[in-house]
Amino acid sequence: MPSLTRAEATARAATVDVREYEVDLDLTAEGDTFGSRTVVRFDAQEGASTFLEFEPVSVVKMTLNGSPLPDSVLAGGRLLLTDLAGANELAVEAVMRYSNTGEGLHKYVDPADGSIYIYQHMFINNAGRILPAFDQPDLKASFRISVTAPASWRVAANGPLLSGVGGRWEFAATKPISTYLCSLIAGPYHEVSDSHDGIPLALYARAALAGALEAEAAEIFEVTKQCFDRYHEIFDIRYPFGHYQQAFAPEFNFGAMEYPGLVVFRDEFIYRSAVTESEREHRANVIAHEMAHMWFGDLVTMAWWDDLWLNESFAEYMGTRIAAEATRFEGTWTTFAMQRKAWGLRADQHPSTHPVAPAEVTDTDQALLNFDGISYAKGAAVLRQLVAFVGDEAFRAGVNAHFAAHAYGNATLADLLGALSAASGRDLTAWADVWLRQAQVNTLRTSFVRDGSAYASVVIEQTAPDAYPTLRPHRLGIGLWDRAGGSLVRRKLIEVEVDATGRTEVPELVGEPVADLLLLNDGDLTYAKIRLDEASTAAVPSVLPLIGDSLARAVLWAATLDAVVDGERPVAELVTLALAALPVESEVVIVEDVLRATRSLVDRYSTPETRPAALELVAQAADRLLAVSEPGGSRQLAAARGLIGATVDTARLHDWLAGENVPAGLPVDADLRWLIVYRLAVLGAAGLDVIDAEFERDRSATGEQWAARCRAARPDAEAKAQAWAAIIGDAALSNRLVEMTASGFWQAEQLDLVRDYVPRYFAEMPAMMRLRSGMSAERTAAAAYPGLVVEPRTRDLAAALLADDDLDPILRRVVLDADDDLRRALAAR
């Protein structure tokens, strides 16, 4: 679809007022097309002209106010209308095309049983792939959906089902919603239903996952109910969209999407194999995140994509907070410190950085690119800082006033800040300017002067990058930690207001005995890069295993990993710390994230000569943890995964695959088997015969994706050629399969084999971007990037491609940021 500019959206919103879409879809035809009949009712300035997004295969009939429209009104994905009346009715009947990229109406064939599944995803600018639409967030309307489909299917949509007999489903009209929030699912979905506090609840998943859905339903419903109760305590307006259905769909691009009344998740959240407690926490967090959107995004929607943070930052913050407050997963802020904030920090330091609330998002292409760690994680961290700044009572009062003022409508940054300022009695203009309107991140460092055994002075120094010199006010904690009886105990915790002068004295600590660890940002209240004083930095390897507070350990690990990424600490030091501290780490998310990040840094920051030894130490760290972990527990599973990913002991992996010498309690189930086969394929110890046999054993959607990744990972010239051809030119390959193929292609163990594909990436990826679109194209381009070939030549080729003024904007951003990561790796080496 063509990109919609903000100027066009502003002009269109001044011209029309959309009242209703009446949509009738026919999904009974075989092949790659479906029927779409739509009536759009809207008011307009008399005599005005406008357009709708629309991209049909063919048109059967089009009328405006009863008069036929010629085919010539369709051009470039837009339906042009002229000489409008005050009240208008556009009726269109057309043939549309299914997609395999997760956009529009996505069609999927389950390899397990051949069943067809369909879901709708009109996100940002894809409504025109299904129906003619005024596709922008501030032109809200009611949607009345009808669907004709095989009688054996289930169909669900945003609105309540009025009737569903004989293959015909009709749904009640929705409340006013933005076009990108209209959705449906169709296929032989398995359903589990429940209710809570007057709200009908339902879960849907593919028939092949029926057993897994039944097993997981109790926990999903429990989390859903707990989150509803807490949101209803915080928000004055109850859940406003009737029923609450959660569908788990195949090949969904996002983790989930907040369609009101019908939230859609990727179906990997219906676990079919053993998972860690942190993965269950992640699912609970996503459930809470999407539920937050029912208010932030659905009830009150941003007017344009420059205020995306009003959707995603709030949902990220509230999801983390509500999961911690309402469910058994009380450690979500530890996960946020380890994973989500690190995501935000990396995005914020890339060349493509942007403010949380940019002054302008010029078009929908740029809007798509801003669905990143800044809009989600940085925005959430900034909101946590705002709540600390104004107080939780004022924050809640301001948010509720905002909902009351804009329910079922649209709002802007100024609207929300006005409500929060009125509730708190504080002018937030200056705060918003430095935290929301300015990009990049500050670095906070502690230093101190001793007076004998006590602090004579403690100083927090704040710096900013030369290109982004903004200093900010920070409210944060400082903890004093001392050794006591084999543990490290927090003696004192104070909260400090760091000003924007660059140097903040901390008089509250003068005279205090010097601590074994002076922990800056204890409690993880602010968003900044944290660097400890020299003595505390030197003490980390010995004191980290002694800290009982998981959030404090997460802050230390995150600061350590960030320093390695920045090249301030060597990757060898990180590997040594992992070997010392991980075997006694009890927080599973820390184990998982440290193993993942360390493995990634070893592959890119170690030289080819030092990498084998570093990787062996990572494997040893995982193996030691495996040896001391409780059988059948989350730590054991996390350790086993880490060991599989780092080991070169193929005999041991083959034994596990055969069920021999497996640690007691470790479930070598379908997903762990695939992880083993994948590592064996990378090491050249599992050929096509092993991969194909495993796929026959696990002929599922997940098995199909793993098989594609394993085939691409083999150290074989023909395998690489076939994988590359699929990545670059196979339009029939679905979004998830092409992404998995790309993710398996580059391997640190195979650089000599794939080095010739480095120039091919920069020569051939622009053509791939014309073949695919949107998020599928972005993820494929990122996964296929030769980031493991850490050589100046890779950067030279990137620079040459970036010099092309006509380069696809999505590919430009992928290459720009990946090249910056490569710059860091070269500097670290």
List, as one string, the DSSP characters of 329-373: -TTHHHHIIIIIHHHHHHHHHSTT---SS-S---BHHHHHHT-ST
Would you call 468 exposed, middle or buried from its count of C-beta atoms within 10 A (0-12, 13-18, 19+)? Answer: middle
What is the DSSP code (8-state) at residue 340?
I
Residues 6+ apart with CB under 8 A from 283: 220, 223, 269
What local confidence, expressed as pLDDT, does residue 2 receive?
Answer: 79
Q: Rounded to whole angstroms, how far apart are CA atoms 272 and 333?
A: 27
Fold (CATH) for 6-293? Immunoglobulin-like (2.60.40)
Half-sphere exposure of 235 (CA within 13 A, CB side): 24
Amino acid, res. 317: Y
Please state the separation of Cα 164 from the chain's center in Å: 35
Q: What is the pLDDT of residues 296-328, one digit of tens each?
A: 999 999 999 999 988 999 999 999 999 999 999
Residues 6+ apart with CB under 8 A from 749: 682, 683, 715
Counting residues of the chain whose pLDDT is more than 90, the rounded percentage is 96
Rounded to an integer, the average pLDDT of 367-381 is 91
Q: Rounded to whole angstroms, how far apart are CA atoms 494 and 505?
A: 13
Residues 6+ apart with CB under 8 A from 763: none
Please report where in the chains the tokens 């809207």 appear, as a residue. Answer: 42
Q: How much is the CA Rg of the chain, to the nearest whole Å?
A: 27
Rounded to an integer, the average pLDDT of 638-663 is 97
Q: Rounded to whole angstroms, how far apart are CA atoms 179 and 129?
A: 12
C-beta separation of 733 from 771 below 8 A: no
Please report where in the chains the tokens 């391997």 appear, as a residue. Answer: 747
Q: Rounded to whole angstroms, how far apart are CA atoms 50 and 8?
A: 10
What local confidence, expressed as pLDDT, does residue 369 receive?
Answer: 85
> Between vectors from CA 343 to CA 578 and to CA 283, what angle results, nearest 5°?
90
Show the beta-strand stretches assigned E in 500-575: 503-505, 517-520, 529-531
Q: What is the pLDDT of residues 248-276, one digit of tens each?
A: 999 999 999 999 999 999 999 999 999 99
Beta strands across the sheet bearing 168-171 = 67-68, 58-64, 87-97, 33-44, 16-26, 142-148, 168-171, 161-165
Residue 447 pLDDT greater than 80, yes or no: yes
What local confidence, expressed as pLDDT, does residue 774 receive?
Answer: 84
What is the DSSP code (8-state) at residue 16?
E
Higher pLDDT, 523 or 1: 523
Residue 310, token pair as written in the block: 């009003």
Q: Rounded to whole angstroms, how far apart are CA atoms 91 and 54?
A: 13
Q: What is the pLDDT of residues 472-518, one digit of tens each?
A: 999 999 999 999 989 999 999 999 999 999 999 999 999 999 999 99
Rounded to an integer, the average pLDDT of 200-205 is 98
Q: Rounded to whole angstroms, how far apart are CA atoms 649 and 617?
A: 13
Q: DSSP string spanning 472-487?
A: --EEEEEEEEEEETTE
Selection from 94, 566, 123 nearest residue 558 by Cα: 566
What integer best gives the mean pLDDT of the chain? Answer: 96
Selection from 447, 448, 513 nearest residue 482 by Cα: 513
Residue 1 pLDDT greater than 90, yes or no: no
Dihedrals φ, ψ of 674, to 5°? Answer: -65, -40
Model confidence at 368, pLDDT cuts 50, 70, 90, reads confident
Three-class secondary structure of residue 69 per DSSP:
coil
Label each residue of 605-654 as H, E or C.
HCCCCCHHHHHHHHHHHHHHHHHHCCCCCHHHHHHHHHHHHHCCCHHHHH
What local confidence, expressed as pLDDT, does residue 654 receive?
Answer: 98
Which residues on adjacent β-strands are paired with residue 163? 170
Model confidence at 370, pLDDT cuts 50, 70, 90, reads confident
Residue 365 pLDDT greater than 90, yes or no: no
pTM of the complete model: 0.96
Three-class secondary structure of residue 518 per DSSP:
strand
Residues 6+ apart with CB under 8 A from 720: 712, 714, 745, 753, 754, 757
For the chain, the domains span 6-293, 715-829
Rounded to an integer, the average pLDDT of 172-189 is 97
Catalytic one of 290, 512, 585, 587? 290
Amino acid, res. 728: I
Q: Rounded to whole angstroms, how far apart are CA atoms 652 and 659?
A: 10
Q: What is the pLDDT of residues 384-440, one digit of tens each?
A: 989 988 999 999 999 999 999 999 999 998 999 999 999 999 999 999 999 999 999
C-beta separation of 726 from 711 below 8 A: no
Residue 232 pLDDT greater than 90, yes or no: yes
Q: What is the pLDDT of residues 279-292, one digit of tens each?
A: 999 999 999 999 99
List Cα–Cα distances, 659 to 643, 652, 706, in angstroms. Answer: 17, 10, 20
The number of helix segments (H) and strand segments (E) in the chain equals 28, 29
Residue 582, token pair as written in the block: 């991980």
Q: Rounded to whole angstroms, how far apart are CA atoms 105 and 318?
A: 30
What local confidence, expressed as pLDDT, does residue 359 receive?
Answer: 87
Strand 244-249 versus strand 262-266 pairing type:
parallel
C-beta separation of 3 from 125 below 8 A: yes
The secondary element (H helix, E strand) that includes residue 561 is helix 550-565
Amino acid, res. 626: L
What is the DSSP code (8-state) at residue 99?
B
Strand 409-411 versus strand 300-302 pairing type:
parallel
C-beta separation of 48 from 17 below 8 A: no
Q: Rounded to whole angstroms, how far apart are CA atoms 147 and 16?
A: 28
Q: How many CB atoms lie within 10 A of CB 808?
A: 20
Residue 110 pLDDT greater than 80, yes or no: yes
Strand 190-196 versus strand 199-205 pairing type:
antiparallel
Rounded to an integer, the average pLDDT of 338-360 is 93
Active site residue 279: no
Selection from 751, 746, 675 nearest residue 707 by Cα: 675
Q: Rounded to whole angstroms, how far apart are CA atoms 266 and 480?
A: 43
Residue 775 pLDDT greater than 90, yes or no: no
Residue 476, token pair as written in the block: 């944060």
